[in-house]
Amino acid sequence: MAENQTTVTLNIGSQRISMAVFETSKTGGLVLKAFESSELLADPATEAVRMPQTRLAILELAQKLKVGKAKVRYAVSGQSVFTRFVKLPPLDSDNIEQIVTFEAQQQLPFPIETVVWDYELLDAGSGEKEVALVAIKSDALDEINSCVIGAGMTTAEIDVAPMALFNAFRNAYADVTEPILLIDVGAKTSNLLYIEGKRFFTRSIPVGGASLTTAIAKEYGINFAEAEGQKVVNGIVTLGGGHTSHLDEAVAALGTVIRNALTRLPTEIARTTNYYRSNHGGNAPRRVILAGGGANLPYAKEFFEEKLGLPVEYFNPMRNVMVGKAVNPEVIQKEAHMMGELVGLGLRGIGKSSINIDLVPASVEAERAAEKRRPILIAAAAILVAGFAGYYLLSSSAAGKAEAKLAEMEATKQEIANTALPLKKLLAEETAIKASASGFVSIKDAQGFWPGVLTDLRKHFTSEFTWVTDLEPLANYDPIKPNDGKSSSGDSVVKDEFDAEYGSSQLNAIKVEAPAPAVNAPRPRPGQVVAAPVPAVPMANAIRIKGLWRDNDAKQNAVNKLVKALRDSNSPYLSFSVKGVDGKEVPLKDEQVVKSLKAIADAEEEYAWPFEIVIPLAQPMPTR
């Protein structure tokens, strides 16, 4: 293995996206050179925009680590794949591929041509052969892989989170032979890994951090984002035996809700342990190791010790991994139990992994085949060129035959040129297809823009003293000019009499200046059909929010606080600065965002008073 070989790894979870850069040490081990992570909100209501958010998170991590065009090894979550452990009859090794394919056709719940699958032979003990089958729907894998490709990276290998965790465990705990249960508590699911030496069994349970958040939201009648905040800031797992007597009443009540929701996990663990022992001949675990972000809650370790009756410790996959100078050791110490997948993928890069699952999308498979053929084509071209050169030197020694040989070579050259024409045509078609695909990717990204705007507003523009009555996109908005009520205030994309007439367009007829023709544009030839100019489409560049605020201690400043929360959120969809005349970014003041905010008059008895704010969009969006 070459020294200082770089491996970029990526773990794509439901709520946490993390990336790491490893290098190979002089002794052949791993050195962590860089690490970053990003959090997403695992709200079921935002599932439609999860893939665009995931692509954006991967892009930001790649930019932070400066690995924008690198090949990446990444892992998909256990909930995304179908996993089966099948014992094979005693057959010759030559027949394993055939019998595994047959078993896959029998075990998979989908037609085999609609999935991407792989397998790994395992040590089942007693001389038996056992195989781990892993499959994922092709379209689901393509959707995940498009997030990686869309972030500018290329795919080296695609692993599954439980298998990557097993590889990390074998590297960090090579001396452990007793039965171990590794519990990886994720956002939507928890992966259970039963490990006995080189033996391995896994199952995904649909209980995770999002289940706890959902239980809190239901119990207190709040939305998912508020419930997640309460869980992170005040959440604990209460224990039995009067554990809550010394706690604050509100904290104890919240901890009880979390405990009740989490209790389902030990029940599923007991069922899975019985299944593992009876159907796979395994032994009951003697020790439990906790991993994943869902295990961060205070007293989670003590909760599992109480429920499972076994010693519990936190997973440390970094035990045999060196940390580079650029990495903060305090961050690694705090988040080590959530880095198992990254370490397992890093071991794949240096050839020291125990299980090697590789789910290959069709596009990646075609790219790999092209890379394998490329050296052969280059060598063939070199041989052909060398042959022509040698032939020319030999023929030049005979002056009388020089012209005849030159003519022969010219003919051969023309034949090669004719052969190159179809190749050039194919390259042109490939370029056109890539351009078309790029357009579809842009359209797909645009689909997630408005849901992203609404998600940001719901997360940060929320107060019990305010409510929104109207939200509309604006075109031609310019906050720098004085608000004369005309161009600077923007044109509403939606008609004032929205839904007045069924079946008619509810969009305003906004005037847009058509682009001027190019100065050096060629004149049409006689008889040439010239396409009509495409009309310009109005572009929404701001949103107007109207609403009401009611009396509170902060008075009308309650609205200004919401504007500040939006400003501080660094939203990728909204902008609180615009380009000035000199092209530099100019931050907007609150009075440029808050267009009207009625205060409480001395003798005015109203329940609420109106406000209106206008916020520019981070990028203009087409209105049709």
Q: In this predicted model, what pLDDT tens digit does every residue of 187-226 receive, in sequence order? A: 899 999 999 988 889 999 999 999 999 999 999 999 999 9
Determine what percent of the chain is predicted with pLDDT higher than 90: 41
**For residue 288, what is the enclosing H or E element?**
strand 287-291
Residue at 485: amino acid letter: G
Structure-token match 């370790």, residue found = 301
Six-digit token pair at 31? Answer: 């050195």
How does DSSP classify residue 595?
E
> Residue 244 — pLDDT band, cuts 50, 70, 90?
low
Task: Name the burial class of residue 254, with classes exposed (0-12), middle (13-18) and buried (19+) by CB atoms within 10 angstroms of its CB.
Answer: buried
Angstrom distance (rounded) from CA 373 to CA 376: 5
Q: Do domains 1-173+319-360 and 175-314 have the same CATH topology?
A: yes
Q: Please enumerate in sequence order all residues whose Cβ is within 8 A of that of 561, keeping only pairs 6 or more positions apart, or say none.
A: 463, 554
> Residue 310 — pLDDT band, cuts 50, 70, 90?
very high
Average pLDDT for 250-267 = 92
Average pLDDT for 158-176 = 94
Average pLDDT, the chain: 84
Residues 372, 377, 382, 383: what is their CA dihedral angle, to the nearest 10 degrees? 110
pLDDT score for 1: 40
> Residue 280 — pLDDT band, cuts 50, 70, 90?
confident
Checking if the pLDDT of 513 tops 70, the result is no
Six-digit token pair at 127? Answer: 């001389």
Counting every residue written for the chain, the total comes to 624
Lowest mean pLDDT among 38-42, 351-355, 446-450: 446-450
Half-sphere exposure of 125 (CA within 13 A, CB side): 11
The DSSP line for 448-513 is THHHHHHHHHHHHS--TTEEEEEEEEEES--SSS---SSGGG-EESB-TTTTSSTTS--B-----P
Residue 536 vs residue 85, higher pLDDT: 85
Average pLDDT for 85-100 = 76
pLDDT score for 375: 61
Task: Name the burial class of residue 83, with classes exposed (0-12), middle (13-18) and buried (19+) by CB atoms within 10 angstroms of its CB.
Answer: buried
pLDDT score for 487: 42
Q: Distance between the two ends of the chain, CA-based, in angstroms? A: 55
> Residue 131 — pLDDT band, cuts 50, 70, 90?
confident
Q: Which class in CATH covers the domain with range 175-314?
A: alpha beta
Q: Please enumerate in sequence order all residues whose Cβ is within 8 A of that of 218, keeping only pairs 6 or more positions apart, or say none.
A: none
Question: What digits encode the pLDDT tens for the residues 321-346?
Answer: 999 999 999 999 999 999 999 999 99
Top-ranked range on mean pLDDT: pick from 45-49, 76-80, 147-151, 365-369? 147-151
> Residue 512 — pLDDT band, cuts 50, 70, 90?
low
Please check whether residue 141 is in contact with residue 361, taking contact to mean a CB–CB distance below 8 angstroms: yes
Residue 439 vs residue 553, higher pLDDT: 553
Checking if the pLDDT of 392 tops 70, the result is no
Describe the strand order of the beta sheet including 190-196 as a list of residue ranges: 199-205, 190-196, 180-185, 287-291, 312-314
> Residue 376 — pLDDT band, cuts 50, 70, 90?
low
Please check whether residue 191 is in contact with residue 202, taking contact to mean a CB–CB distance below 8 angstroms: yes
Lowest mean pLDDT among 38-52, 60-74, 440-454, 552-566: 440-454
Residue 407 vs residue 219, higher pLDDT: 219
Does domain 1-173+319-360 fall under CATH 3.30.420.380? My reply is yes
Q: Give the Cβ contact number of residue 177 at 10 Å.
A: 11
> Residue 522 — pLDDT band, cuts 50, 70, 90?
low
Q: Give the Cβ contact number of residue 382 at 10 Å.
A: 10
Lowest mean pLDDT among 44-48, 375-379, 562-566, 601-605: 375-379
Checking if the pLDDT of 582 tops 60, the result is yes
Checking if the pLDDT of 563 tops 60, the result is yes
Angstrom distance (rounded) from CA 156 to CA 350: 13
Nearest Cα neighbor of 13 from 207, 188, 154 is 188
Phi-psi region of 259 (alpha: psi -120 to 50; beta: other; left: phi over 0): alpha
Please check whether residue 71 is in contact with residue 153, taking contact to mean a CB–CB distance below 8 angstroms: yes
Checking if the pLDDT of 45 tops 80, the result is no
pLDDT score for 614: 93
> Residue 381 — pLDDT band, cuts 50, 70, 90?
low
Residue at 124: amino acid letter: A
Please check whether residue 359 is in contact with residue 137, taking contact to mean a CB–CB distance below 8 angstroms: no
Checking if the pLDDT of 413 tops 90, the result is no
Angstrom distance (rounded) from CA 16 to CA 272: 26
Strands 594-597 and 608-622: antiparallel
Q: What is the pTM of this model?
A: 0.60
Six-digit token pair at 417? Answer: 């040129």
Domain spans, the chain: 1-173+319-360, 175-314, 398-439, 449-504+536-622
